[in-house]
Structures are given as C-alpha cells and as structure tokens.
Amino acid sequence: MAERFLMKGNEALAEAAIRAGCKHFFGYPITPQTELAAYMSKKMPKIGGTYLQAESEIAAANMVLGAASCGIRAMTSSSSPGISLKTEAISYMAGSDLPCLIINVQRGGPGLGGIQPSQADYWQATKALGHGDFQVIALAPSSVQEMVDLVAKAFELADTYRMPAMILADGMLGQMMEPVEFDDNAEVKKTEKPWATAGHGGKREHNVINSLYMMPQDLENLVNERFARYEVIKQNHQMAEEYLTDDAEIVVVAYGASSRVSHSAVDMARAQGIKAGLIRPITLWPFPTDVLQKAAKTAKAFLTVEMSKGQMVDDVKLAIDCAVPVEFFGRTGGIIPTPDEVLAQIKALAQGGAD
C-alpha cells in the first residue's frame, strides 16, 4: 500500500488530475480554490505540461475548449462566481461534444457572495451550466481521498461520452487536509479520439469541431443523439453511498460536505434509538434515482440536508415520485450546518411519524 500523507483537498485534486494524464491546466485564481492552481503552477512545468494563468475565467475556459478539441486531457477550476463566467465556453464544449474537466470549489452566492463553503451551485451544475439542451456529468466527492478517486473517473467518463464533466466540491473540502494515498500503479485509461483536430497528415478528411448548426433539423437530430447518450449514462453510471438504509425510517439525503455532517447526525440518531440512514449521492448527474427508489419502499420520510436553500430536494421528490414526505434542512451563505442541527430535524421527523 502506498504511503498515506496529509494533503489539502485542492492540492489533491490537482495531483490526481496530473496522474490522470491531464497535461494542460488553464485557470484564474479565486478563493477558496487557489491552492489547486498554485499546485498546478509548480507541477505542470516539471511534467512537460502547461500551466497557464489566463487573463480571465472566460479566457481560461475557452483555452480548455481549444485543448480539448485537440484530443488532450485539459481542465480548468474555479469557485462559484468564476464558474458562472465559464458557462459560455462550457455550453460550447457540450455543443461540440468535447470532453474536459471543470472543478467548482463552491463558495457562497449569488453574486460575489462570500468565500466560505457552500453548495448553492447545485442547480447550476445539474440543470443549466450554460444555455441550451445539455447536461454535464457532475460528481460530488465528500472526502479528500474521494476527490482523488473521482478525478480519474471524471476524465474517463468525459472521454467515453464526449462531454464535459464537473467535480462539484466546496470550500470545506478544498481547504481541509485529510490522509490520502495515490495508487502509483494506476493505469491511465485513455480513449481513442479519432474526432480530434490534431492534424491529419493529408491522410484523411479534416475534422471539424463546431457548435453552430443553421438547419433546425440538423440541430434537433444532434441534440437527440446527445440525449440518447445521456440515457446510457443514466442507466450505467449512477453512484451513491448507502449508510444504514436497510431498515431506515428516516433517510437523510446529502452530498459533499453536508453529507459528512449528516453522517455524524445519523450516528447520533441511531445512538438514541432512531432508525436513521443516509444516502449520499456521488453522481449528482446522473442523479442516483435507483437507490432512492429502493429506500422509499421502507422509509417513512426523507430529509435532504444541503448548504443552500434546498436545490436537491426537488430531485429527491422526483426520484421517489413523492411516495413519502421529503423535508429539507439547510444553511446557506457559507455556514456549515452542525450535526446537532441535523439531529434535531431527524428527531422532529421521527416524532412526527409516531403520532
């Protein structure tokens, strides 16, 4: 086993991306994500890659578009306000079927908001990371080790399905240090990219990367083809962790930082004899509907816990077709809920069920 050492989430994301074969990083500093870019600036030149601090977030995202067009693993990272600036290029990449990785270390919003941890970009990541009919793969790690593990996964999924992937982290995960280990023997799974505009040596027809289609029928056909691909992803790539859900009457649903708080709260509830469990979505898109539907068969109520005003709660209701009540608890603006606060909500739900 490789040695475990302490690493900040932001740095672990960067190291994992380099190990996953990312050769080009285009970024712009913003708290609480800056350590990621700083790490890249130190490491990329040493491995023959590119670290480029662009003149703006918009430029950085468009540079990713350029690099991805050449079939190269490229990425950018930012925090909430910076991600909003990148959405134009992300939409163009989705419309051009380009794989890439975008990392959002979320902070409070809207606007410049604050710099403390938040999960208020869930809607943006899962519903509309730019204009037009498209989705991006959205992965939500809840530990520094999982940040490492999901980076390679994100690149692989993006390459396989030719679409952007996002890791939706938050300031807490980005700033905290936890033990991590890297698999030094991990194989980088690469996909052939015959579509890339990387030179054809006069041996084939040139490739075109484009997102403009003037004929509505052409565009509809293409979007339909893309959505057929999305269905395959929904069928095959839902990921979630289930904790004590087998007999759970109260099922908490939380991802990322708030799932860690919820995990503690579920343990506290169990110690008080309340049958509580936790479902932690790891893929936010595709949303892990299967495990939620399974849990809905035995649960009396669901409670989503988020660091927002409740952006995932609708997806939970849709997943279980409102079979049981779905309540919400959250803090926003950069405040992390406490286990005691979540426990109080679980207890209230448990007592409500006994009436």
Partner 1 sequence: MSKNLNIVIAGFGGQGVLFTGKVIAYAGLIDGKEVSWLPSYGPEMRGGTANCSVCVSDVPIGSPLVVTPNAFVAMNLPSFDKFIDDVTPGGVVVVESSLVSKQTDRTDVKAFYVPATKLAEEHELQGLANIILLGKLFKETQFSSFEALEKAVAKCVPPSKQHLLEPNMRAVKLGYSL
Question: Binding residues for partner 1, per CB under 8 A?
Answer: 4-6, 31-32, 115-116, 171-172, 175-179, 260-261, 263-265, 267, 336, 338-340
- Interatomic CA distance for residues 76 and 85, integer angstroms: 12
DSSP code, position 224: H
Query: How many angstroms separate the most distant Cα atoms in the chain?
Result: 76
Q: Are 48 and 75 in contact (CB under 8 A)?
A: no
Q: Are 119 and 170 in contact (CB under 8 A)?
A: yes
260 vs 317 by CB, closer to partner 1: 260
- Interatomic CA distance for residues 343 and 300, integer angstroms: 16
Give the nearest distance from C-beta 69 to partner 1 in angstroms: 36
Q: Are 16 and 182 in contact (CB under 8 A)?
A: yes
Q: Are 301 and 325 in contact (CB under 8 A)?
A: yes
The pairs formed by 246-249 with CB atoms below 8 angstroms and a separation of 24 or more are: 246/277, 246/298, 247/275, 247/277, 247/298, 248/275, 248/276, 248/277, 248/295, 248/298, 248/299, 249/274, 249/275, 249/276, 249/298, 249/299, 249/300, 249/301, 249/350, 249/353
Give the nearest distance from C-beta 108 to partner 1 in angstroms: 11
88 vs 178 by CB, closer to partner 1: 178
- Interatomic CA distance for residues 289 and 239, integer angstroms: 9
Give the nearest distance from C-beta 277 to partner 1 in angstroms: 14
Q: Which residue has the tokens 């015959």?
A: 194
Q: Are 219 and 213 in contact (CB under 8 A)?
A: yes
Q: Could you give the C-alpha distances from 222 to 49, 152, 157, 214, in angstroms and in order?
A: 33, 28, 20, 12
Q: Are 234 and 286 in contact (CB under 8 A)?
A: yes
Please state whether the peptide bond connecting residue 286 to the residue before it is cis, i.e. omega within 30 degrees of 0.
yes
Give the nearest distance from C-beta 268 to partner 1 in angstroms: 9
H or E segment and range at residue 126: helix 122-127
Query: What ranges make up the beta strands (E) of the chain?
Result: 5-8, 24-27, 50-53, 74-78, 100-106, 137-139, 164-170, 177-180, 240-243, 250-253, 276-281, 283-285, 301-306, 326-330
